[in-house]
Amino acid sequence: MSTRRTIARTVTMDGVGLHLGVPCRLSMSPAAAGSGVRFRRTDLEGTPSIAAHTDVAVLTERRTQLGEEPSALHTVEHVLAAVAGAGIDDLEIAMDGPEPPIADGSAAPFLAMITEAGIVEQLGRAEHLELRESVRVVDGESVYEAHPASELRLDVTIDFPHPLIGRQSGSWTITPDVFERELAPARTFGFVREVEYLRSRGLIQGASTSNAVVLDDARVLDTTLRWPDEFVRHKAMDVVGDLALAGARVRAHVVAHRPSHRGTVLLVRAMRAASTGAAPAGLRTNGAVAGAAAANGAAASAAGTAHVRAMDAVMKSGTLGIEEVMRVLPHRYPFLLVDRILDLEPGKRVVGLKNVTINEPFFQGHFPGHPIMPGVLIIEAMAQVGGMLLLGAVENPESKVVYFTSLNDVRWRRPVKPGDQLRFELELLQVRGPMCKMSGVAKVDGEVVAEAQMGAMVRDR
């Protein structure tokens, strides 16, 4: 049995945030037993408080976000990694800005704050998230497995096409000493080739070679690596921070391949669902997976049950990775043109992604030396995302198929080329019996590249 832990006194840090580039003063203060870890925005009226919990996490790329604007907190993963790595259960973190200071790009400065403040035990029993069965979550390229264990163990693998990174793997049993020595000092990293694109999206506004490991095509700029595998260590540190959103000390063996912030948040949601022995109330079940589990009845295996709960957690967030998309859509290579569903409100709206790469088979002939995605395939990809919207609202979607019956007001605004990421946004306009109408747009970097209105019907496959 573990007692709860907090810090002995208030400590403060000043600095600039990594992505938003806004100055922020961050203070850590003792908190009452049982209060958990909470953030407080002192710069906003009423000083709103946000729990460090997956229930309020927003699925984002490149960072971990809690809450929605205007009181959102961005890039909190390094702070939470230090808190979880030190075994802190109760803590108040006050910030007078939307993003913690980036410091040197690692969790070590935040861990030093906790050490300076001193750790004290207090009345009450620490809560633990323990699994009864294994869980598997796939989100795009991120693949996770979590297995029952008596402690937190991490196996992390990353793979980047860079001569200094390549494929790196590491394994750690997370204790305060191991975290401090092996993971906390590992810094965030990025690539020169991404700077212009990320800054155009409002990210890395406060980044520099003094608070991140920056790489060009061959080397690290203006710094020396703390370990040759600092990259995978940093990713493991991020996983520790995002696992803190469980709201409890995690006891599990987590195997993460190419982890991401949004992927780890989805994993935590799936682990929480599996640990309760039943899916949380209000979760929408994916018809294909739930139908298969029902057919198996009481004989469904523990692994299959855990997978259903993992799917429930994904559907709660409205997101679907490629494996879930393929359970719903009948399309296959080379005609499956949806990579991910970002947001799905069945019967209302859907947002989906298609990553356009030079490996698309149509670029061989359209056109040699001047690759442009055919406009009809942009509309086809939009229609497939629309199919997810319609099938998401029916029972047993794996037994249905969507036929499109009309296209109106189709316009193409600019060419789509290799390297573009198509974002499709569709909403349902009208439903009459088996017939419906949808309106959709396709965007690249926020700019509309195509639009259309579509008529469709759902039929038995």
CA distances in angstroms from 108 to 53, 173, 180, 208, listed in the order given: 22, 18, 7, 18
pLDDT of amino acid 312: 44
Residue 219 has pLDDT above 60, yes or no: yes
On whether the pTM is more than 0.85, the answer is no
Which pLDDT belongs to residue 59?
85
What DSSP character marks residue 61?
S
* Spatial contact of 227 and 187, defined as CB atoms under 8 Å apart: no
Contacts (Cβ under 8 Å, ≥6 apart) of 26: 12, 13, 14, 15, 79, 93, 94, 95, 100, 101
Q: How far apart are CA 187 and CA 191, in angstroms?
A: 13
At 331-367, the pLDDT tens digits run 888 899 999 998 888 778 999 999 998 989 899 899 9
Say which of 128, 162, 257, 366 is annotated catalytic.
366
Residue 326 scores a pLDDT above 60: yes
Q: Which of 120-134, 149-163, 294-308, 322-336 has the least mean pLDDT?
A: 294-308
**38 — phi, psi (to 5°)?**
-135, 145
Residue 355: count of CB within 10 angstroms of its CB: 13
CA-based nearest residue to 382, from 291, 456, 433, 303: 456
Taking each helix axis from N to C terminus, what angle separates 287-296 and 302-317, rounded to the nearest 10 degrees? Answer: 160
Instruction: Please tell me the predicted confidence (pLDDT) of residue 318.
Output: 59
Q: Is 74 a catalytic residue?
A: no
The Cβ of residue 431 has, within 10 Å, a number of other Cβ atoms equal to 13
Give catalytic status of residue 366 as yes or no: yes
Question: Could you give the residue ranges of the DSSP H alpha helices within 162-281?
Answer: 176-178, 192-200, 230-243, 261-276
322-460, which class in CATH?
alpha beta
Q: Could you give the dihedral angle defined by the CA atoms of residues 305, 308, 310 and 311, in that order, rounded to the nearest 10 degrees?
A: 170
> Average model confidence (pLDDT) for the chain?
88
The half-sphere exposure of 366 on its side-chain side, counting CA atoms within 13 A, is: 15
Average pLDDT on 426-446 reads 89
Q: Does domain 130-276 have CATH number 3.30.1700.10?
A: yes
| The CATH number of domain 3-125 is 3.30.230.20 | yes
Mean pLDDT for 397-403 is 82
DSSP string, 341-397: EEEEETTTEEEEEEE--TT-GGGGTS-TTS----HHHHHHHHHHHHHHHHHTTSSSG
Question: Closest Cα partner for 133 from 308, 13, 4?
Answer: 308
Residue tagged active-site, from 19, 78, 261, 307: 261
Residue 410 has pLDDT above 70, yes or no: yes
pLDDT exceeds 70 at position 72: yes
Q: Are 384 and 426 in contact (CB under 8 A)?
A: no
Ranges 247-251, 286-290, 412-416: which has the least confidence: 286-290
User: What was the pLDDT predicted at 221?
Assistant: 96
Domain coordinates in residue numbering, the chain: 3-125, 130-276, 322-460
Average pLDDT over residues 199-220: 92
pLDDT at 369: 87
* Structure tokens given for 3: 């007692």
Burial 111-128 (b: 16+ CB within 10 A, else e): bbbbeebeeeeeebebee
